[in-house]
Chains A and B, each alone.
Chain A
Amino acid sequence: MKHKTFFWFVLPSSLAMLLFIFFPILSVLIQSVHVDTEQVIKEVKNCGPFGCETITSIDQEATQALERENPLGRFAGLTTYLDRRHLAVDEVHAAWGSTTGVGDFFNQLVNLPFYKAMSFTLAYTFIVTPLVIIFGFIIAVAVNGAVKWVRGPLIFFSLLPMLVTPLVGALTLFWMVDARGIVGNALQYLASDPNLSVKASTPLTWVMLMVYGVWHSAPFAFIVYYAGLQSVNKDTLESAMIDGASRWEQIRYVIIPHLLPLTTFIALMQLMDNFRVFEPIVSFSAEAHATSLSWAIYNDLGGETRQLSSAAATSVLTILGISILLLPVLVRTWRDFTHK
């Protein structure tokens, strides 16, 4: 295809991505090194019947004039990144100095908002991703072994948890594990503790969020593996059988190697999607016990005062995080590409 034709064909979608993905990333970068314009304080002498007093107030006009002059605000360098709400360098340093042990240091660390979000996001990503792969594989093997006519309905119901809106899916689960819901009741019965509440306990909230994550994503792994199982080479499988391979050996030496490239694909997609975990935290109202990086940005942007610089700094740190996570994959693609 000629360069010129290629250019015209990809123009609309490149323009969309340039304007609404690339520029916003630049905009986020710029915002993160600026803070709001300082408010101009003026002193007004107020004289009444009981004498004069000076009142300090915000000079709205002067402030607005300054804002017009510098729409971005003041240049602040990396201060937003280093403050208490983000990397909290001073606090971490103090904690390191006063700590009594590694455990204590981590306890102090997760009390800082950024590290709290980071710890949950990473824990969620690295616990949910392998579980999704394992459960997806088990379900795929089971469905593949089922009689033909039940497979359609099985796939239909399996797709639901994945395709349903994350916020909505998380809500349905959340209402069930509510202390007054059916699963919440069952848990109280099993633990023989009538006051047990998943919402009130940090570890249980984490577990619940991760259970949701696996429930939501396992169908994806299942479908990919299921399609992979359909294309297993029947001849190889048969020769393995003739050579006396047991069922387990067939899985271990024929099926798993065949599915390995699919696992890379699932892992890549899951790392991307789990790192942005966000909706279940809103649905479960779990912010007291678990926050994520995406939730932290949402929290900064919402509410009465939109803290744009703070949100921008968290965004940049999140983008850095996902880049580090995907770096191995990118390096591998690069190597494959240069080999060709």
Chain B
Amino acid sequence: MAAKTQRRSHALNLLLIVVLVVWMILAAFPFIWTLWGSFKVEGDFFSKADWANALAGPLTLKETGGSFTGAGYHGAWIKEAFGLAAMNTVIVCLFVVTISLTFGTLGGYALSRSTYRYAYWFLIIALIFRAMPPITLVSGYLPVFFNWNLWGHLPTAIVVLVAINQPFTLWMLHSFFKNIPKDLDESAMVDGCNRFQAFRHVIVPVMWPGVITTGLFSFLLAYNDFAVTTMILSKENQTMVPKISSFLGTTQTKGNVMFAVAAVVSATAPLFVMVLFFQRQIVSGLTAGAVKG
């Protein structure tokens, strides 16, 4: 590698640096800018006079007496009860991840060990289900949920998200289990375990890296979902993302767009921390399906 780097011409090096710098600005700047702006008042973050007001914040100083203000956060978390939405998100994500992984490990394991043709078709059907835009399914749920009084509750959203999550979870865990040698569980079965015992005592202890990676993506799917949660949850049970979108409808007219900015920053922060700690797992998960074919 070192030899190759030295052979690179100056022009090429410059190009490389330019590409990386431009991309870093594109990728990171919007978040930094919004984080900074969330501590200003609306007149500064959306400045008619001069964009630089968002940096210095003259109106923030005039209106609140300091260069930074937590008014947006106060408005979102206290006045608009964003905390409740955050709590709902925690509940939804926790259950979706746990249930998805339980179902997914069982199914994914069986799919990786079965040599019959139907296992292959099972995966293809799962792929087709994965291709369905979730909102097309929502119009199928609504009449039934209304009739049976299931609409609006957190458990309903959890079950729906688990189901929508399944195709992806199955695919991912299937490819992870494929990499665990068959001999491992088969020798346990020779020793007298039945299939489930072999799974429980031999596979479960070694499957955690794959399960953690898959769990991260299940979490992201539940956390980021808008189409399902906005349609299925009632106002009191809203999770964070639909709550933010409801801010847009109501607060923009009230002039409290800063509530939404603060809420957006609050919703991004956990993801930021997650990437910080699990970068390696996320990268390996994204490439698992592709590189191994």
Binding site for B on A (CB under 8 A): 1-3, 5-6, 9-10, 12-14, 16-17, 19-28, 31, 71, 138-139, 142-143, 145-146, 152, 154-161, 163-169, 171-173, 175-176, 178, 180-182, 185-186, 215, 219-220, 223-224, 227-228, 231, 247, 261-262, 265-266, 272, 275-276, 278-279, 282-283, 285, 293-294, 297-298, 300-302, 306, 308, 311-312, 315-316, 318-319, 322-323, 326, 330, 333, 337
Of A26, A158, A330, most B-chain CB atoms within 10 Å: A158
Question: Which residues 25-83 in B have Cβ within 8 Å of A in the complex?
Answer: 26-28, 30-31, 33-34, 37, 45-48, 51, 54
* Identity of the chain B residue whose Cβ is nearest the Cβ of A272 in the assembled complex: B131
Shortest CB-to-CB span from B44 to chain A, Å, is: 10
Contacts of B46 in A (CB 8 A): 175, 178, 180-181
Shortest CB-to-CB span from A237 to chain B, Å, is: 9
Shortest CB-to-CB span from A73 to chain B, Å, is: 10
Of A223, A316, A323, A337, most B-chain CB atoms within 10 Å: A223
B133 touches A175 (CB 8 A): no
B130 touches A301 (CB 8 A): no
B261 at the interface (CB under 8 A from A): yes
A142 touches B23 (CB 8 A): yes
B259 at the interface (CB under 8 A from A): no
* Identity of the chain A residue whose Cβ is nearest the Cβ of B35 in the assembled complex: A172
Assembled-state Cα–Cα distance A306/B142 (Å): 10
B107 touches A223 (CB 8 A): no
Contacts of B107 in A (CB 8 A): 9-10, 12-14
Contact of A315 among B120, B139, B286 (CB under 8 A): B139
Contacts of A266 in B (CB 8 A): 290
Of A164, A231, A285, most B-chain CB atoms within 10 Å: A164
A24 touches B141 (CB 8 A): yes
B235 at the interface (CB under 8 A from A): no
On whether A155 and B283 interact (CB within 8 A), knowing A13-B104, A20-B137, the answer reads yes
* Identity of the chain B residue whose Cβ is nearest the Cβ of A18 in the assembled complex: B163
Contacts of B287 in A (CB 8 A): 223-224, 227-228
Assembled-state Cα–Cα distance A252/B289 (Å): 25
B166 touches A10 (CB 8 A): no
Assembled-state Cα–Cα distance A280/B129 (Å): 23
* Identity of the chain A residue whose Cβ is nearest the Cβ of B120 in the assembled complex: A337
B167 touches A17 (CB 8 A): yes
Assembled-state Cα–Cα distance A182/B169 (Å): 40
A19 touches B163 (CB 8 A): yes
B24 touches A21 (CB 8 A): no
A265 touches B120 (CB 8 A): no
B241 touches A301 (CB 8 A): no
Assembled-state Cα–Cα distance A5/B189 (Å): 13
Assembled-state Cα–Cα distance A168/B120 (Å): 37
A23 touches B275 (CB 8 A): no
* Identity of the chain A residue whose Cβ is nearest the Cβ of B274 in the assembled complex: A163
B291 touches A228 (CB 8 A): yes
Contacts of B293 in A (CB 8 A): 261
Contact of B129 among A21, A155, A172 (CB under 8 A): A21
Contacts of A285 in B (CB 8 A): 248
Assembled-state Cα–Cα distance A123/B120 (Å): 33
Shortest CB-to-CB span from A5 to chain B, Å, is: 5
Contact of B133 among A12, A22, A294, A326 (CB under 8 A): A294
A165 touches B226 (CB 8 A): yes
B34 touches A265 (CB 8 A): no
**Smallest CB-CB A-B distances: 4 pairs:** A24-B140, A20-B163, A9-B110, A276-B133
On whether A165 and B103 interact (CB within 8 A), knowing A13-B170, A180-B47, the answer reads no
On whether A262 and B290 interact (CB within 8 A), knowing A19-B163, A157-B24, the answer reads yes
Contacts of B233 in A (CB 8 A): none
Assembled-state Cα–Cα distance A224/B282 (Å): 11
Of A10, A157, A276, A319, most B-chain CB atoms within 10 Å: A10
B224 at the interface (CB under 8 A from A): yes
* Identity of the chain A residue whose Cβ is nearest the Cβ of B122 in the assembled complex: A10
B109 touches A9 (CB 8 A): yes
Assembled-state Cα–Cα distance A301/B31 (Å): 32
Interface string of B100-126 (1 = CB under 8 A from A): 001110110111011110011010101
A276 touches B134 (CB 8 A): yes
Contacts of A247 in B (CB 8 A): 12
On whether A25 and B33 interact (CB within 8 A), knowing A168-B267, A261-B293, the answer reads no
On whether A146 and B106 interact (CB within 8 A), knowing A20-B163, A182-B51, A279-B226, the answer reads no
On whether A298 and B279 interact (CB within 8 A), knowing A145-B8, A173-B30, the answer reads no
- Report 7 cross-chain contacts, Cβ distance below 8 Å, ordered by A residue: A27-B143, A152-B279, A157-B27, A172-B31, A224-B291, A227-B283, A275-B133
B244 touches A16 (CB 8 A): no
Assembled-state Cα–Cα distance A318/B137 (Å): 11
Shortest CB-to-CB span from A207 to chain B, Å, is: 15
* Identity of the chain A residue whose Cβ is nearest the Cβ of B23 in the assembled complex: A139
A25 touches B137 (CB 8 A): yes
* Identity of the chain B residue whose Cβ is nearest the Cβ of A23 in the assembled complex: B140
Contacts of B30 in A (CB 8 A): 161, 169, 172-173, 176
B206 at the interface (CB under 8 A from A): no
* Identity of the chain A residue whose Cβ is nearest the Cβ of B48 in the assembled complex: A180
Assembled-state Cα–Cα distance A165/B196 (Å): 38
On whether A181 and B51 interact (CB within 8 A), knowing A6-B110, A9-B106, A302-B231, the answer reads yes
